[in-house]
Amino acid sequence: MNGAATPKIAVRGVEKSFGAKRVLDGVDIDCAAGESLVIIGGSGTGKSVLVKCILGLLRPEAGSIRIDGMETVGLGGAARAALMHKFGMLFQGGALFDSLRVWENVAFGLIQGRGMERGKARTIAIEKLAAVGLGPEVGMLRPAQLSGGMQKRVALARAIAAEPEIIFFDEPTTGLDPIMADVINRLIVKCVRELGATAISITHDMTSAKKIADRIAMLHQGRIVWHGPTADIDHSGNPFVDQFVHGRADGPIQMEVRAA
Amino acid sequence: MITFLASVGAIFLAFLAATGRLFLFAARAILAGLTPPYYPRLVLREIVNIGYFSLPVVGLTALFTGMVLALQSYSGFSRFNAESAIATVVVLSMTRELGPVIAGLMVAGRVGAAMAAEIGTMRVTDQIDALATLSTDPLRYLVLPRLVAGLLTLPALVLVADVIGVFGGYLVSTYKLGFEPVAYLTHTRQFLETMDVVDGLIKAAVFGFIVALMGCYHGYNSRGGAEGVGQSTTYAVVSASILILVFDYLLTAALFD
């Protein structure tokens, strides 16, 4: 296989169930190096599960996930640890460590994951906080002292602190007002471009998806039902995408009113 | 009849599966400690949490246990003129049995619950997944320091509880029951052997490990939101308390036979 043609991330036939509920039912998707892919879909369609499978936090029952051409399903030990160095992740709720100060949160991966000396890691953490528009004084606060928007920025600073090759964004604008959501979207675009990273984001916020994506894929009932360039999203010709993009209750997507 | 047997079988299989999961969880955490990185600062923090902050509740419980033991022994032994055995009964009961069990149960209520709540909250807010994405093994970072701290700290706590419990018995015996202080202390030392204390400390180490393991295990496997965390906290305390009593019997049979 030609190295230039190898996708950064290649997902093939991934299946994952929780009890009787099949969440992922043969997902196929590629993401090229340096590309920003956004996966859209309704709540409970398995977007977070797919990202957790790629990250190795969940193990799929079937299928293949290749990073830089290397099979990662079932990878453990030192190989998994080395692979994790390539990743950064912004969690939906921030997932900041309550017991640590903000700068320690940002520097955590550098100190604990890579064994960097605390002083040096602190300098980098302050730089990363500045990159997301937060002053050094914020570094001394605890996460509980920050607003939701500031927590997202800190989580973004933590995700980019170790300059990962691949960054995942899980619902980056959920719970934010439109202005703060736009600030976060711009920061994501800026940070990803500056790092030259590959980005996979999951969201149901179409404004956010259009701003940060090079390409959009739609996940429905455990499968990718459409994917294409961001410019095509408004005239995809796919009834699932059309209904989702325009937020219509009527259409092929029937919302589950009860948990399965 | 077949339905009944199937139900019993299902319960038994579920028990075996749960035991297996617990065993694997503990084994994975312990194996993680065989290679660096190590987190001595986290172990020290947990030692302070378990040991120092549990001292008031364990000390107070031990004091009253020793006092009650002296009173109860007196009311029983005085019926056949064996009052002189009270000091021995108090010291042997405290060191071999009540010190470790009471400290274990108190720490299970105070520390085991806190561990389950803290780790459970980290689970439901994705902080444990965040650790993994930051190239940090959650078992090595969150669980192992607590297991080590539980193993090391409870024996020290029990040693203090032993002394305070014996002191409680001494106070009641000398001030309320009219024993001669020197004679009481002489009787306390007369039949006490080093192994009585050591075996009690071995029990304490096992109980400390159990409390930390159950707190970490139930917290780590929390599901849902606040309700799930509350549930895992309850499970941590109840299962640790039951296991302490079960292992108390097993260790007593093994150590004191």
Q: Give pLDDT tens digits for B19-44.
A: 999 999 999 999 998 988 899 999 99
Secondary structure (3-state) at A25: strand
Give the pLDDT of residue B78.
86
Which residue is closest to A113 within chain B, CA to CA?
Answer: B135
CB A156 within 8 A of CB A191: yes
CB contact under 8 A, A112 and B37: yes
* Chain A partners within 8 Å of B122 (Cβ): 97
* Chain A partners within 8 Å of B126 (Cβ): 91-93, 95
When CB atoms are compared, the residue of B121, B130, B141 closest to A91 is B130
**Distance (Å, whole) CA A35 – CA A200:** 8
Q: What is the overall mean pLDDT for chain B? A: 94
Question: Would residue B57 count as lying in a domain?
Answer: yes
Q: Which domain holds residue B72?
A: 39-255
Question: Would residue B231 count as lying in a domain?
Answer: yes
Give the pLDDT of residue A258.
55
**What's A20's DSSP letter?**
T
**What's A256's DSSP letter?**
P
When CB atoms are compared, the residue of A57, A114, A162 closest to B129 is A57
Q: Which neighbouring-strand residues pair with B180? A: none
**Distance (Å, whole) CA B197 – CA B177:** 26
Question: Would residue B66 count as lying in a domain?
Answer: yes
Question: Would residue B55 count as lying in a domain?
Answer: yes
Count the domains in chain B: 1
Inter-CA distances, B104 with A216, B63, B100, B101, B245, Å: 56, 15, 6, 5, 9
Question: Would residue B228 count as lying in a domain?
Answer: yes
Detail the DSSP E strand segments found in A157-235: 166-170, 198-203, 215-220, 223-229
**Distance (Å, whole) CA A214 – CA A34:** 10
Q: Does A79 touch chain B (CB under 8 A)?
A: no
CB contact under 8 A, A87 and B141: no
Interval B178-218: pLDDT, tens: 999 999 999 999 989 999 999 999 999 999 999 999 999 99
ipTM of the complex: 0.89
Which residue is closest to A85 within chain B, CA to CA?
Answer: B135
- CA dihedral of A177, A183, A189, A193, whole degrees rounded to 10: -160
Query: Order of strands across the sheet with A223-229?
Result: A87-90, A166-170, A198-203, A36-40, A215-220, A223-229
Structure tokens at A37: 């892919």
Secondary structure (3-state) at A202: strand
Helices and strands (H and E) in chain B: how many: 12, 0
Which residue is closest to B125 within chain A, CA to CA?
Answer: A95
CB B58 within 8 A of CB B51: no
- Best of B48, B133, B137 to mutate (most A CBs within 10 Å, chain A): B133
Query: Order of strands across the sheet with A62-67?
Result: A21-31, A9-18, A62-67, A70-71
CB contact under 8 A, B136 and A112: yes
Structure tokens at A162: 């170790």
The tens-digit pLDDT sequence of chain A (260 residues) is: 444 568 999 999 999 999 999 999 999 999 999 999 999 998 888 999 999 999 999 999 999 999 999 999 999 888 988 899 999 999 999 999 999 999 999 999 999 888 899 999 999 999 999 998 899 999 999 999 999 889 999 999 999 999 999 999 999 988 888 888 898 899 889 888 999 999 999 998 899 999 999 999 999 999 999 999 999 999 888 999 999 988 888 888 876 655 54
**CB contact burial A105-142 (16+ within 10 A = b; e otherwise):** bbbbbbbbbeebeeeebbebbbebbebbebeeebbeee
The one-letter code for the residue type at A89 is M
CA A219, A220, A225: angle at the middle one, nearest 5?
Answer: 65
Question: Would residue B215 count as lying in a domain?
Answer: yes
Q: Would you tell me which residues 20-49 of chain B have a C-beta closer than 8 angstroms to some C-beta of chain A? A: 37
DSSP states along B129-197: HHHHHTT--HIIIIIHHHHHHHHHHHHHHHHHHHHHHHHHHHHIIIIIS---HHHHHHHHHHT--HHHH
Interval B113-138: pLDDT, tens: 999 999 999 999 999 999 999 999 99
Secondary structure (3-state) at A22: strand
**Distance (Å, whole) CA A99 – CA A203:** 29
Provide the number of CB pairs (under 8 Å) joining chain A to chain B: 56
Neighbours of B46 (CB within 10 A): 22
* Chain B partners within 8 Å of A115 (Cβ): 37
Question: Would residue B7 count as lying in a domain?
Answer: no
**CB contact burial A209-218 (16+ within 10 A = b; e otherwise):** bbbbbbbbbb
Question: Would residue B15 count as lying in a domain?
Answer: no
